Amino acid sequence: MKIRTAKFFVKEGFGSLRKNKTMSAASISSVIAALLVISIFFIIVINVDYAASKLESQIEMKVYLHDNLSEAIVSSMTKELKTISGVQDIQFIPKAQALTDLNKQWGDNSYLLEGLEGDNPLPDSFKVTLTDPSKANSVALAISSMSNIERVVYGKEELEKLLKTTYILRVSSLVIITILVFISIFIISNTIKLTVYARRREISIMKYVGATDWFVRGPFIVEGILLGLFGSFITTLAVGIGYYYSSNLIKNQMIGLLSVTLMPFGEVINSLAMLLTAVGLLIGIIGSFLSVRKFIKV
Amino acid sequence: MIQLINVNKKFANGHVALNNVSLNIENGEFVFLVGTSGAGKSTIIKLLMKELELDSGKIIVDDKDITKIKRSHIPHLRRSMGVVFQDFRLLQDKTVYENVAFAMDVVEAASKDIRRQVPMMLGMVGLSKKSKQYPHQLSGGEQQRVSIARAMVNSPSILVADEPTGNLDPEMSVEIMKLFSEINQRGTTVIMATHDLHIVDKMKKRVVEINEGNIIRDERRGGYFSENQNR
């Protein structure tokens, strides 16, 4: 495409926005409405996802060992554990420390543990953190096959439930966002169709003097892109401000109640801006493409 | 050269627009297509522009069978033809200059060609002084002259006109016809569908009369009615 042609498209696209102020405002409003719904959904999803991944990362595995292993064996086991894929970090917890931890955990009731110091019944253990909770099963299996292992313990059922829930959430959110994108493309293409309809004479004249289909589409696509970008910019701004204030509010009110915090503002706004810009562009381009289609056949 | 060979066109409602029509038009000719409304004049023009597809037959323009060209090549065919309509079809929100330049923008002409060609065309149709005005500020005749400038700005070899004087009063029609005549003298083939018996009689050009989809008369230097017809 020639630079001059691109300039012509941009000039015509902007010109059409200016000339059809009411229609443009209506189109931008519908883009904003659609994007608002998408953003609210997106924010809920990424926050639940964020909480879930936080929970996932907290999942740890306890590996209990046989009694009375020599230091040499423990250190060779440490090395071996580190080579298992899916293991992020391991920490050796000697039986004495395990008892102290238990004491702390039981707090006021720790008197029940009095007298155990002499004959500590707790085994030595490893605390294993995982790179990816979905690998828990294979890691557990690999560890069990090593020698000197008494038992491997992790919240198997809870973990599986959590993984399932987050998976369903991710998939269903993707489906719903896709549906919303389609609905908004439909809305936008209908609104742009009105501007196209208003300019059908111009289109037929362009076709009569020998314009190619792409040339006719050009200005409308620029117009669609502009509508989509305006819409996504305004929505990002509005949702960003809304999220900033409400996340602060929630943080101050509920931090004591919930151990789960909202995703930080900076991360949300980045991914939201990217998502909305992409969706806005997509809506604009496809929407204008669809609306010109009918009138281009002259 | 334009050749129609056994062209048939029937509309969806069953109306036969063209019935086995054959017609040869040489380069540089001036041809009137006459006949009552619905006789098939406009259908010929629409077929030439590839606005309609024919049912059977061939249409050859400059040695190319245009019935076989791909949809993506239609724009290139149209660039070799200028077209003028009864209702002018100017863009109301563009000035006279912009309306003419638009036809060059659309075919992605270079700016320097546009700056040279558009004033030249406006000079030819006698509207140099009105280049900054809008169509609604012009008379019908002036608007039609703008549309002729637009049709000619890309230097097509064929100029097609569908009732170009249909919306104009007689004085203006004469002016417009002078312009077409001039364009034709410079070598452009002119094909004009018209109802206007005065201009046809005055111009003494080739007349092709169509009735109910058939060519019933083809005279080298004819009038609107045939010699042996009662007036």
Q: Which of A244, A251, A246 is nearest to A265 (CA)?
A: A244
Q: Is residue A170 part of a domain?
A: yes
Residues A35 and A91 in one domain: no
Of A165 and B182, the structure prediction assigns the larger pLDDT to: B182
Residues A45 and A182 in one domain: yes
Per-window interface: B 152-181 vs A, CB < 8 A: 154
* Alpha-carbon gap, residue A202 to A249, rounded angstroms: 53
pLDDT of residue A107 exceeding 80: no
pLDDT of residue A111 exceeding 50: yes
Alpha carbon of B100: minimum distance to chain A alpha carbons (Å): 11
Q: Is residue A298 part of a domain?
A: no
What integer pLDDT is reported at residue A254 of this predicted model? 55
What number is the average pLDDT over the span A148-163?
A: 78
**Hey, what amino acid is at B67?**
T
Residue ending a domain, choose from A129, A154, A179: A154
Domain encompassing residue A109: 60-154
Q: What percent of chain A has pLDDT over 70?
A: 95
Q: What's the number of domains chain A is made of? A: 2
Lowest-confidence pick of A95-104, A169-178, A256-265: A256-265
Residue ending a domain, choose from A93, A123, A154: A154
Residue B19 CA to chain centroid, in angstroms? Answer: 22
What integer pLDDT is reported at residue A18 of this predicted model? 85
Using the Cβ of B134 and the Cβ atoms of chain A, whether some distance falls under 8 Å is answered with no
Residues A228 and A188 in one domain: yes
Q: What is the DSSP letter of A84?
A: S
* Alpha-carbon gap, residue B178 to A154, rounded angstroms: 97
* Alpha-carbon gap, residue A1 to B85, rounded angstroms: 31
Q: Identify the closest residue of chain B to A2 by CA–CA distance.
A: B108
Lowest-confidence pick of A55-59, A94-98, A285-289: A55-59
Residue ending a domain, choose from A154, A182, A217: A154
Residues A65 and A110 in one domain: yes
Residue A93 CA to chain centroid, in angstroms? Answer: 36
Q: Do A210 and B76 touch (CB under 8 A)?
A: yes
**What dihedral angle (degrees, nearest 10) is formed by the CA atoms of B218, B224, B228, B231?**
160
* Alpha-carbon gap, residue A228 to A268, rounded angstroms: 20
What number is the average pLDDT over the span B140-151?
A: 95
pLDDT of residue A27 exceeding 70: yes
Q: Please tell me the number of Cα atoms within 13 Å of B194 on its side-chain side.
A: 29
Residues A249 and A168 in one domain: yes
Residues A38 and A74 in one domain: no
* Alpha-carbon gap, residue A33 to A30, rounded angstroms: 5
For chain B, which residues make up each domain, given as ranges? 91-155
pLDDT tens digits for range A216-245: 888 888 988 998 899 999 999 999 999 888
What number is the average pLDDT over the span B117-130?
A: 95
Using the Cβ of B78 and the Cβ atoms of chain A, whether some distance falls under 8 Å is answered with yes
Using the Cβ of B55 and the Cβ atoms of chain A, whether some distance falls under 8 Å is answered with no
Residues A249 and A267 in one domain: yes
Q: Do A209 and B111 touch (CB under 8 A)?
A: no
Residues A261 and A165 in one domain: yes
Per-window interface: B 101-130 vs A, CB < 8 A: 102-103, 105-108, 110-111
Q: Which of A202, A204, A210, A193 is nearest to A298 (CA)?
A: A204
pLDDT tens digits for range A72-93: 888 888 888 888 888 888 888 8
Lowest-confidence pick of A165-179, A210-224, B101-115: A165-179
Read off the CATH number of the domain in which A146 is found.
3.30.70.3040
Residues A273 and A167 in one domain: yes
Q: What percent of chain B has pLDDT over 70?
A: 98
pLDDT tens digits for range B21-47: 999 999 999 999 998 887 889 899 999
Q: Quick check: B7 and B22 in contact, CB under 8 A?
A: yes
Q: Quick check: A64 and A56 in contact, CB under 8 A?
A: no
Convert B25-44 to b/e letters by CB count within 10 Å (16 or more is b): beeebbbbbbbeeebbbbbb
* Alpha-carbon gap, residue B132 to B96, rounded angstroms: 6
Residues A183 and A89 in one domain: no
Residues A50 and A64 in one domain: no
Q: Identify the closest residue of chain B to A212 by CA–CA distance.
A: B75
Q: Which of B190, B229, B195, B220 is nearest to B39 (CA)?
A: B195
pLDDT of residue A257 exceeding 50: no
